Copies of this chain bind each other. A is one copy, B any other.
Amino acid sequence: MLDYFFKPSSVAVIGASRDPQKIGNVVLRRLIEIGYPGRVYPVNPKAEEVMGLKSYPSIEDIPDQVDMAVIVLRADLAPRALENAAKKGVKAAIVVSGGFSEIGNVEPELEIKRISKEYGIRVIGPNCLGVYDPKNRVDTLFLPEEMIPRPHPGKVSIITQSGSLGSFLLTWIYQQGRGISKFISYGNKADVNESDLISYLAEDEDTSVIAAYIEGVDDGRRFLETLKEATRRKPVVVLKGGRTQSGDRVVRSHTGSIAGSSRVFEAAARQGGAVVVETLEEFVDVPIALASQPLPKGDRVGVITNGGGFGIIAVDSLEAKGLRVPKPSRELEEKLRAMLPPYYPVGNPTDLTGDSTPEQFLETGLAFAESGEFDVLYLIPLFGVPGMRPGEVEKALFELKSRIDIPVVAVAVPTNEVVKESLLRLEKGGIPVYSTPERASSVVKRMVELGTRLR
């Protein structure tokens, strides 16, 4: 049934406005701009047409089946509009308006709950951004694209209880050139909650990994059962807002959620099979790796770089996170020495120096992987030296990836536009790229944790 939020044949925007400053304008505009393939009906009693589309005084007047309604009205007007939509047979509604329980205005929210139950209409919100689905071309976010850029289609779906955090995540994901499958800001969850969404996304073929930012859940038991079910199918990454005592205090005042002890929550989420992360960086970094890499079979990390100091920082950050960076066996060391110029420091890390070539990354990577001495390959290609042409590095790393079966992560920073484009292609092609060793090492740690748990 939640399908109607992502693949509606027709959408009504209730409160569609001709004033570009109003969010009722932005929502309609975004549906047009993104190329939503269904039929769109503005509802506005004061206009004949909005953005060239015939406008209807009320939803009942639309001479068509309407699958989804986006309600952009004041809190006191929203419940009635929802009831009209339900009566008309609308299957899914997103109430983006705020001013409900989050500011203590409980009545209209209870009214929305009642209507949803009574008519069986599914409701996302109120006090939310709603849905962004670049593949199905649905976008109900009331944030103009000039202000909040939209990521391209990808494999990770994100659900977030906080809209402001959601808008930040979109911007950040966009800036890192990453994609998104479905983005859902679900706000006060008068009806649809995190468990509904995780269940749905677990079955969604376009979603490989689910990332959930959650401030509090109402039905802990159902959430746990949902997680158990979902994580049998695909990884679920959870970030709990209000992890600390002060944070928890804010959650309770902010959302009215029953937050409870976040330690209990996090323990339960882990028990349900989720990967519990602690920072925003992990929240966007870990899913990308889980969506593209096999899980490591152990905690031994092999590091290959062409920058000595970088290798040291990487090893420090890996060991600080409890991962192992073992020395290679004598056998492997001899193999590397035979393969590389005599002045290259071989070991773990192996330092390919400023004279490095893409072929050396490939050959050394193969030797590391084939030795069976490492569970994760950790590459730090520095550009800015003559032998490391981005296109050739890209080719070598793709070949490496295709010939080995352990997970690979890379640390690299785009030194110019050519390198930047190349790194984006690398990540799209299945090698996650992080801007610092610390970020990559956090990701490896979470992958190892999950791998250990699933073995």
Contact = CB atoms under 8 A, between A and B. Distances in A.
B243 A320 contact: yes
A345 interface: yes
B246 A315 contact: yes
Contact of A250 (B99, B162, B281, B311): B311
Contacts of A164: 305-310, 354, 382
| A147, A347, A438: most-surrounded residue (chain B CB, <10 A) | A147
Contacts of A21: 386
Contact of A309 (B162, B253, B310, B312): B162
Most buried by B among A166, A255, A279, A316: A316
A351 B319 contact: no
Interface stretch (A167-175, A197-205, A287-295): A167-175
A402 interface: no
Contact of A384 (B148, B307, B385, B437): B148
A280 interface: yes
Nearest to A347: B253
Contact of A382 (B167, B251, B316): B167
Nearest to A255: B308
Interface string A236-272: 0000011111110111011100000000000000000
Interface string A318-359: 111000110100000000000000010101110101100000
B165 A313 contact: yes
A215 B279 contact: no
A239 B165 CA distance: 31
B254 A312 contact: yes
Contacts of A406: none
A258 B263 CA distance: 43
Given A149-B415, A384-B143, A312 B436 contact: no
Given A147-B416, A280-B436, A307-B162, A312 B242 contact: yes
A95 B103 CA distance: 66
A355 to B, nearest CB: 9
A99 B344 CA distance: 10
Contacts of A103: 343, 345
Contacts of A315: 244, 246-247, 250
Contacts of A165: 307, 309-310, 313
A15 interface: no
A378 interface: no
Given A147-B383, A386-B21, A438-B280, A311 B416 contact: no
A163 interface: yes
Interface string A109-145: 0000000000000000000000000000000000110
Closest 8 CB pairs of A and B: A162-B309, A164-B307, A165-B309, A244-B319, A103-B343, A247-B316, A147-B384, A241-B312
28 contacts: A98-B354, A102-B308, A147-B384, A148-B384, A148-B415, A162-B307, A162-B310, A163-B309, A164-B308, A164-B382, A167-B307, A167-B384, A171-B414, A171-B415, A175-B414, A213-B309, A215-B312, A241-B312, A242-B316, A243-B320, A247-B316, A250-B312, A250-B347, A250-B349, A255-B308, A278-B320, A279-B438, A281-B438
